[in-house]
Amino acid sequence: MDILDKIVINKRKEVAIRKQLISLQHLEQADLFNRTTSSLKNVLKNSSTGIIAEYKRRSPSKSVINQNAFIQEVALGYENAGVCGMSVLTDGHFFGGSLHDLLMARGTVQMPLLRKEFIIDEYQIIEAKAHGADVILLIAAILTRPEIALFSTLAHELQMEVLLEVHNEEELTHALMPDLDMIGVNNRNLKTFEVSLATSTSLVSKIPNEFVKVSESGLSSESAIQMLRQVGYQGFLMGETFMASEDPGSGAEQFIKNMEQ
C-alpha cells in the first residue's frame, strides 16, 4: 500500500465523520457560498509568470516544512508578490492543513484560491465553495472517469473551476474530458516520491491546447519555469520552494522579480 492509498482510506473515514457533523444545508447557508468566484484559468492565460504559490505546513515526503508561518501573512505576502493564485492544503492528517486555513486566506486576499485536497466525495466540493475556494483539485489516480465527470459538473454548477492532476500518460488518457479547465502534471511520483521534470515535458504535447497546462512539484528555479513555459505550460504550482523559507511571501516576490529580469 503506497502513501496515496493510505491518504484515500483516511480521507473516506474523515469525510464520513464530517458529513455527520455538518449538513449540506448548513454549508450552503454559509456567507461565502454565494460569493462570485474568480477565474484562475484566465489569470494564468494572461500572466507572464504563471506562479501558483502553495501554503502547506508539512508533507509525507518532507515531513515538517514550515509550522510557524501564519496563513494570513503568507496569503497577503503571496498576493503582494504578484502570484496568479494560491493553493491551500486542507488535509489535516498528512499535510497539517485545514478548511480554516482556506477560510482565513479567503478573508485576507482577493486572488483565486485553489482547495488542494484529496476529493473523493461531492460533499468536499460543497465544502470548498462554502469556505471561499475558486478552484478544486481532482486527482486522476484516485477517481474513476464517471467520478471526474460528476465532480467537474458540480464544480462548474457552483461557478468553480477544475484543475485535474495526472502523473502519467495512462492517467491523462483515462481522465481527459471536455468538462475540465486546467490539466496539472505532477512531477512527483507518489509511490517513490522521486521528482522529475521529464514527466511534464513528456506529457505536454499530449494535452490538448484547449486546456491551461500546469506543471506541479519540483519547481525550484527560474530556469525550470522558463523551460516549461517554452514547451507550453502556462501555470506552475510551487510550494516547498517558498514555504521552506522564513518569509514565503518575500521568497515568492524575489522569485518573480528574477523571472521578469
Q: Among 87, 186, 200, 215, which one carries the catalytic annotation? A: 186
Phi/psi for 52 (5° steps) reads -110, 110
Q: Could you tell me if 163 and 184 are in contact, meaning their C-beta atoms sit under 8 angstroms apart?
A: yes
Q: Among 11, 14, 41, 54, which one carries the catalytic annotation? A: 54
Sequence-separated (6 or more) residues with CB below 8 Å from residue 91: 7, 11, 97, 116, 117, 118
Q: Among 127, 165, 240, 253, which one carries the catalytic annotation? A: 165
Q: Would residue 240 show up in a list of annotated catalytic residues for this protein?
A: no
Q: Secondary structure of 164-183 in the HEC alphabet?
A: EEECCHHHHHHHCCCCCCEE
Q: Among 11, 41, 56, 213, which one carries the catalytic annotation? A: 56
Q: Would residue 54 show up in a list of annotated catalytic residues for this protein?
A: yes
Q: Would residue 127 show up in a list of annotated catalytic residues for this protein?
A: no
Q: How far apart are CA 258 and CA 249, in angstroms?
A: 14
Q: How many CB atoms lie within 10 A of CB 9?
A: 11
Closest CA to 74 of 56, 92, 62, 59: 56
Q: Would residue 45 show up in a list of annotated catalytic residues for this protein?
A: no
223: exposed, middle or buried (Cβ count in 10 Å: 0-12, 13-18, 19+): exposed
At which residue does the C-alpha cell 454559509 appear?
A: 30
Q: Would residue 194 show up in a list of annotated catalytic residues for this protein?
A: no
Q: Would residue 56 show up in a list of annotated catalytic residues for this protein?
A: yes
Q: Among 116, 117, 171, 213, which one carries the catalytic annotation? A: 116
Q: Among 127, 161, 171, 216, which one carries the catalytic annotation? A: 216
**CA gyration radius for the chain?**
17
The x, y and z cell numbers of residue 139, run together, are: 486527482
Q: Would residue 165 show up in a list of annotated catalytic residues for this protein?
A: yes
Which residues are tagged catalytic? 54, 56, 116, 165, 186, 216-217
